[in-house]
Amino acid sequence: MGSVSGQNIGGLGPAGLGEAIRATAEDIAAVLRGAADTGVPVPGSRWSVGEAAAHLAQANGLMADVAAGKARTHGDGTRDGLAVANERALAAFTERAAEPLATMIVEQADAFLEAAASRPAAQGELDTPMGPMGLDVLGSYLLTHMLGHGYDLARALGRPHMVDRVRVELTLPFLLTAMERVVDAAATAGLTARYTIRLRGGARFGSTFTDGAIAVSPCPPSRPDCTILTEPVAFFLMALGRLGPWGALARGHVLAWGRKPWLAPRFPTLFTPP
């Protein structure tokens, strides 16, 4: 699957985000249109290809409505609440054929971009399934969601996936916002540690835990206990629960150093992706 340029669509930032949303939707559609059977199971999921694609079409439509300022409710922002809402929505939407779902995914991504382009910059945050967000973070959320399920669909159908370094960096505004909302209180109880996370060849950020409470910053801490250098695609897949930390370490996709390098494998386990 092709990567995206730095072109921006509809004024949606950061640069390249709008183009990445459109290109990712088109890549997912291309994967689906090659599917002879949408009843194929998605690895690691209870859904079939048709169900996952239907969920994507519905989610893109929901995001487009939110960007347009329409009131939409979908669960309570928790992992369990979102899962229940997803199943209810799927039960009420019976389309499972590849071609119409591929078309819907692209059309709803375009609808999101059109809504984003017409939204005045001065307007405040939007109500999303994971809490209030600015438009740019919502766009990053949409891209993250499409990439995660697009990766699943590509695996299920034996096709190349569409996750790459450029697109992963464009998911960071959402991922950094979401980290504080999906922290696992049981896993972080009593934890005090300073992490620097570096994506190979690109961005870096910091996560500081103080007696279990997390603070995420685009600026790494001055004296981290553990610095983690990850290959960007591996970072994304770990963030979404598609890849375990030990598997990434074994493949050489993760390196760690600092005063407490043994904290590295624990980091992805501190969160519960929705």
138: domain CATH number is 1.20.120
Inside any domain, residue 173? no
Task: Give the model's pLDDT for residue 67.
Answer: 94
Specify the higher pLDDT residue, 207 or 250: 207
Predicted local distance difference test score (pLDDT) of residue 37: 95
User: Do 199 and 160 lie in a common domain?
Assistant: no
- Per the domain annotation, does 5 fall within a domain? no
Helix, coil or strand: residue 227: strand
Q: pLDDT band at residue 81, thresholds of 50, 70 and 90? A: confident
Beta strands 126-128 and 131-133: pairing type? Answer: antiparallel
> Of the candidates 129, 164, 199, which is a domain's last residue?
164
Mean pLDDT of the 253-257 span: 94
Nearby residues of 88 by Cβ (< 8 Å), 6 or more positions away: none
Same domain as 197, residue 63: no
Res. 9 pLDDT band, cuts 50 70 90: low
Are residues 209 and 151 located together in one domain of the fold?
A: no
Residues 74 and 125 in one domain: yes
The mean per-residue pLDDT over the stretch 175-197 comes to 95
Do 32 and 159 fall into the same domain? yes
Whether residue 33 sits in one domain with residue 155: yes
Q: CATH number for the domain including 211? A: 3.30.1050.10
The reply to whether 123 and 50 lie within a common domain is yes
Domain count, the chain: 2
Instruction: Answer yes or no: is pLDDT of 4 > 50.
Output: no
Q: Which of 104, 134, 164 is the last residue of a domain?
A: 164
For residue 230, give the nearest of 262, 265, 258 by alpha carbon. Answer: 265
Q: Is residue 140's pLDDT more than 60?
A: yes
pLDDT at 6: 41
Q: What is the pLDDT of residues 100-131, one digit of tens each?
A: 999 999 999 999 999 999 987 767 889 998 88
Beta carbons within 8 Å of 193's beta carbon, 6+ residues apart: 208, 209, 225, 226, 260, 263
Structural domain span for residue 39:
17-164
> Quick one: 140 and 80 in the same domain?
yes
Name the domain boundary from 114, 131, 164.
164
The verdict on residue 171 lying in a domain is: no
Task: Specify the pLDDT at position 8.
Answer: 55
- Is 0.85 surpassed by the pTM of this model? yes
140 within some domain: yes
Between 146-155, 175-184, 245-254, the lowest mean confidence (pLDDT) is in: 245-254
pLDDT at 122: 64
* Res 76: pLDDT: 78
Average pLDDT over residues 198-223: 95
The reply to whether 79 and 134 lie within a common domain is: yes
Check whether residue 124 and residue 198 sit in a common domain. no
CA–CA gap between residue 274 and residue 271 (Å, rounded)? 9
145 in the same domain as 189:
no
Structural domain includes residue 1 = no
Residues 189 and 82 in one domain: no
